[in-house]
């Protein structure tokens, strides 16, 4: 039998519902795993052991009475520390001036708790969800970055500390750490999962995202966040698009790996087609960056005026640059981004998914950088759903990943084909440590 | 029997449908009226007599065959010269560098023509729909401004040259000239009537609007623009809101007039309640102006770089100011505007209409200014539907008007209460000249 802390969302919830797993036992197993590993990995800012135990006892009592809150009844949850959890501080990875102690849950937390999830605590984020690294380390090799900005959430799921964690993605902050840490990372269409109660980085681009260890686990949690059970569209002989310009920007090792995955999908029945991205792709990275700079500056301006010295160098530069962006430049950048969103739509709709690297390389060595978000950025800037699947290991045993992208609103289609691809790729390598 | 050119939209369409009015005769009557008056009033940039006659002959042939395109079959239409009409130049009231000769109709023109309307020509606009005056004169007193920016459309309808005209409102460009000229001016919820094919001033604020001589005529045309027949909600004992701060900003004469109208409505059965506008009202004028400046600058920047000297002084100042607006200031201004939109909603929803002056005073003397849009601006910046009704004449025989405002999406409710108020006010004074 699988050790409780190693159970996924769906299996844990199913065992609790059958009465073969006690929510308290599950929380204790997760806490034990955190105790054993977090000194080395630093995934957690704050473990709310007492709160989690109390919630687990309530879920256990309810379960014994045959009462289940929803599809996540008793499932432990890690929360990136830019989401408000009532009664816990929100630090946003920043200095004290930015800390708050919210009285109410973020909308997404309220939804997940309403469905029975048990908040285990807050996970490390880069400062204000930008690029100044968290102290978190990659569980596959602690000399390597776990990626960011949702560093702690990715690591907590990868290291078996929790089956489910919330993150956010403005550029590449969910799919990139998921890829670097060998877990599934997902973000829905922009705006579908409510971002209320989350410290913004750039609200036109901010997406709430999920980390889990399988597509089915993402489906179970996403249905809660969307407010209705999600039925992935069954994929048979899916039509996959492959754009050479996305492979050219990856290392030869990653490009070859994605091509090998495409061949495996083709052998399993997929039709893989070479496609050209629309001309507006060429400008979307720069355009999105301007939107990001401007919106981050607009949000941070009041605090920055008093606390500039307390900002990390990367986010300081972001805000300083953003304060110089003109309204006209912002408007044009936003239009360029939305033009790409429109122009790429026919290509996405014509395929079951666009297949891409999740990142140009496996997790880089060192903790000074959170890595390159180039492959995630276009889909964040277009606001379309995307998923990263673990797809193998390098010879030095670092996770490899592929990204699948679909059109706005097409989560059910994307998760259907993602489940199919996951089946072809086989179960991900067991999380390490 | 009413002279053809004096017929309203609904009566003209009904007579054509009954076979008692020939579309060609109606167009000729309108053209005759234009010939007689437009030398003095300058409502028209371009009268497409031949095009209108050809269209009218087609409508006449169809009508004789029992074929009717829709509820505007054979109804002459004036078009503000920022709307594209296929085959006619669009000048936007500007110098030659800005002129275009579009091959396709603006979306609104296509809808109105699809329902049978006959385009008579293009009416004068202030330059780029901002504040540099058109040559148009007020038909009630040619020494006074007709208001702007939809100057020609308001005058064409007021002077009986056409029963229906299209305008646009970004701040006060439909309701203010309607008020100054003694006609009905209407704009729907922002975005509901498509603005495609209209030269933008500030797309977050630009509304397509209508001029006609009765509420029923607006209803008939608006149904075409919305794509479905509009059934005004019948008003009985309507609940009207009156905000003292809106009266305080008007001249004593206009404030007393609006109070007298409120009393007349109350005598006829309305409940008139004093209300306080939300705190965010205080900042909405300044916020909307920043959005206007920034978006106008973003749109005009490329042409302005080459043709600054060809811009009128007001729009030049607007673009110059807009080019200095920072993205952060624009974002904050847009948020302030949307906060007002949200905060004023409960007040609007709780009443059948908010009653306000349409303008602080009757049409000012002189043609150098198009007047004060202060009373129209909040509802343009909030994107909510508003209508101006003629409500009497000053002792010097200039039109007076009242404005009614409702919540976003509530056109049917607003037009219901507007029809009720129109009945209480009695038929507007006959247009003059």
In sequence order, what DSSP letters do the residues of A1-69 get, joined into one string? ---GGG--HHHHHHHHHHTSS-HHHHHHHHHHHHHHHHHHH--EEEE-HHHHHHHHHHHHHHHHTT---
A150 catalytic per annotation: no
Give the CATH number for residue A31: 3.90.1300.10
Q: How far is CA B61 from the centre of its chain?
A: 32
Mutate to test the interface with A, among B290, B299, B326, B329 (most CBs of A within 10 A): B326
Check residue B432 and give its pLDDT. Answer: 52
d(CA B372, CA B363): 9
The residue whose two tokens read 């306080």 is B276
Do residues B341 and B285 both lie within one domain? no
Strands (E), B156-306: 164-169, 184-187, 207-212, 239-242, 271-274
In B391-420, the residues whose Cβ lies within 8 Å of chain A are none
In A271-300, the residues whose Cβ lies within 8 Å of chain B are 293-295, 297-298
Do residues A174 and A298 both lie within one domain? no
Which residues are registered as beta bridge partners of B164?
Answer: B77
CB pair distance less than 8 Å for B301 and A328: yes
Check residue B82 and give its pLDDT. Answer: 98
Do residues B17 and B147 both lie within one domain? yes
Strands A353-357 and A239-242: parallel
Name residues of chain B where pLDDT drops below 50.
none
User: What average pLDDT does the structure give for chain A?
Assistant: 96
Which residues are registered as beta bridge partners of B206?
Answer: none
Smallest CA-to-CA distance from A45 within A174, A130, A153 is with A153
**B68-100 tens-digit pLDDT:** 999 999 999 999 999 999 999 999 999 999 999
A303 touches chain B (CB under 8 A): no
A330 touches chain B (CB under 8 A): yes
The answer as to whether B3 is a domain residue is no
B327 touches chain A (CB under 8 A): yes
Q: Note the pTM of the prediction, 2 decimals.
A: 0.88
B303 touches chain A (CB under 8 A): no
Angle, helices B313-323 vs B281-307, to 10°: value is: 100
Do residues B375 and B296 both lie within one domain? no
A122 catalytic per annotation: no
CB pair distance less than 8 Å for B326 and A325: yes
Do residues B431 and B302 both lie within one domain? no
Q: Which residues of A touch B330 (CB under 8 A)?
A: 327, 330-331
Nearest to A298 among B301, B323, B328 (CB): B328
Helix (H, G, I), strand (E, B) or coil at A79: strand
Check residue B427 and give its pLDDT. Answer: 72
Do residues B145 and B192 both lie within one domain? yes
Do residues B83 and B124 both lie within one domain? yes
Mutate to test the interface with A, among B293, B328, B333 (most CBs of A within 10 A): B328
d(CA A400, CA A412): 24
Check residue A430 and give its pLDDT. Answer: 53
Closest approach of A321 to chain B, Cα-based (Å): 11
Q: How many CB pairs below 8 Å do chains A and B form together?
A: 53
**A253-308 tens-digit pLDDT:** 999 999 999 999 999 999 999 999 999 999 999 999 999 999 999 999 999 999 99
d(CA B272, CA B147): 29
Contact B124, B44 (CB under 8 A): yes
Contact A291, A337 (CB under 8 A): yes
Element of type H or E holding A217: helix A215-226
The answer as to whether B301 is a domain residue is yes
B322 touches chain A (CB under 8 A): yes
ipTM over 0.90: no
The answer as to whether B237 is a domain residue is yes
The answer as to whether A427 is a domain residue is no
Among B298, B316, B333, the domain-final residue is B333
Asked if the model's pLDDT at residue A328 lies above 60, the reply is: yes
Closest approach of B296 to chain A, Cα-based (Å): 9
A301 touches chain B (CB under 8 A): yes
Check residue B249 and give its pLDDT. Answer: 97
Check residue A3 and give its pLDDT. Answer: 87
Closest approach of A325 to chain B, Cα-based (Å): 6
Contact A389, A339 (CB under 8 A): no
Do residues A85 and A170 both lie within one domain? yes
Check residue B2 and give its pLDDT. Answer: 79
Check residue B220 and give its pLDDT. Answer: 97
Q: Count of CB atoms within 10 A of residue A366's CB?
A: 10
Helix (H, G, I), strand (E, B) or coil at B155: helix
Contact B26, B16 (CB under 8 A): yes
d(CA B276, CA B138): 35
**Structure-block tokens of residue B57:** 């002959």
Do residues B285 and B136 both lie within one domain? no
Range of the domain at B302: 281-333
Check residue A1 and give its pLDDT. Answer: 60
Do residues B37 and B84 both lie within one domain? yes
- Cβ neighbours for B96, distance < 8 A, ≥ 6 positions apart: none
Strands B207-212 and B239-242: unpaired
The answer as to whether A186 is a domain residue is yes
B251 touches chain A (CB under 8 A): no
SS3 of B295-337? HHHHHHHHHHHHHHHHCCHHHHHHHHHHHCCEHHHHHHHHHHH
Do residues B75 and B164 both lie within one domain? yes
For A10, how many CA atoms within 13 A lie in the half-sphere containing its CB? 11
What does the DSSP assignment read for B174-197? Answer: THHHHHHHTSEEEE-STTTS--TT
A329 touches chain B (CB under 8 A): yes
Strands (E), B23-80: 44-47, 76-80
Domain count, chain A: 2
Strands A239-242 and B399-405: unpaired
**Structure-block tokens of residue A246:** 């996305």
The answer as to whether A394 is a domain residue is no
Spot the catalytic one: A150, A173, A388, A391. A173
Helix (H, G, I), strand (E, B) or coil at B149: coil
What percentage of chain A carries pLDDT values higher than 70? 98
Closest approach of A329 to chain B, Cα-based (Å): 7
B323 touches chain A (CB under 8 A): yes
Do residues B124 and B266 both lie within one domain? yes
Nearest to A323 among B323, B326, B330 (CB): B326
The answer as to whether B2 is a domain residue is no
CB pair distance less than 8 Å for B295 and A332: no
Report, as residue numbers or ranges, the catalytic residues of B: 80, 149, 173
Closest approach of A125 to chain B, Cα-based (Å): 25
d(CA B401, CA B418): 12
């Amino acid at each position: 039998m699988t050790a409780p802390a190693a159970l996924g969302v769906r299996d844990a919830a199913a065992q609790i519902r059958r009465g073969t797993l006690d929510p308290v036992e599950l929380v204790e197993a997760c806490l034990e795993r955190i105790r054993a590993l977090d000194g080395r990995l630093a995934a957690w800012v704050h473990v709310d052991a007492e709160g989690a135990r109390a919630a687990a006892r309530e879920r256990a009592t309810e379960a014994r009475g045959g009462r289940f809150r929803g599809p996540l009844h008793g499932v432990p949850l890690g929360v990136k520390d830019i989401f408000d959890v009532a009664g816990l501080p929100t630090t946003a990875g920043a200095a004290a001036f930015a800390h708050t102690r919210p009285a109410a849950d973020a909308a997404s937390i309220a939804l997940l708790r309403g469905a029975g999830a048990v908040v285990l605590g807050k996970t490390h984020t880069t400062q204000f969800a930008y690029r100044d690294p968290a102290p978190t380390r990659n569980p596959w090799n602690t000399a390597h970055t776990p990626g960011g900005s949702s560093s702690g959430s990715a690591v907590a799921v990868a290291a078996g500390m929790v089956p489910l964690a919330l993150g956010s993605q403005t550029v590449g902050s969910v799919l990139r750490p998921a890829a670097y840490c060998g877990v599934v990372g997902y973000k829905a269409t922009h705006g579908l999962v409510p971002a209320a109660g989350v410290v913004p980085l750039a609200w036109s681009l901010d997406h709430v995202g999920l980390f889990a260890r399988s597509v089915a686990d993402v489906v179970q949690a996403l249905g809660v966040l969307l407010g209705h059970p999600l039925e992935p569209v069954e994929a048979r002989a899916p039509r996959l698009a492959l754009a050479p310009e996305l492979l050219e920007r990856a290392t030869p090792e990653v490009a070859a790996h994605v091509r090998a995955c495409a061949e495996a999908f083709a052998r399993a029945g997929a039709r893989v087609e070479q496609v050209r991205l629309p001309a507006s792709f060429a400008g979307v990275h720069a355009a999105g960056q301007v939107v990001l700079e401007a919106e981050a500056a607009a949000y941070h301006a009041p605090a920055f005026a008093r606390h500039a010295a307390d900002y990390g160098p990367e986010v300081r530069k972001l805000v300083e640059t953003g304060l110089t962006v003109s309204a006209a430049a912002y408007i044009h950048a936003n239009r360029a981004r939305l033009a790409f969103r429109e122009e790429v739509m026919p290509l996405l709709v014509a395929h079951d998914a666009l297949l891409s690297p999740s990142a140009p390389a496996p997790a880089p060595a060192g903790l000074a950088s959170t890595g390159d978000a180039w492959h995630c950025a276009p889909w964040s800037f277009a606001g379309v759903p995307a998923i990263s699947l673990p797809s193998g290991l390098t010879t030095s045993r670092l996770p490899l990943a592929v990204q699948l992208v679909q059109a706005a609103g097409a989560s059910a289609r994307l998760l259907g084909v993602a489940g199919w691809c996951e089946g072809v790729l086989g179960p991900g390598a067991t999380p390490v440590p």
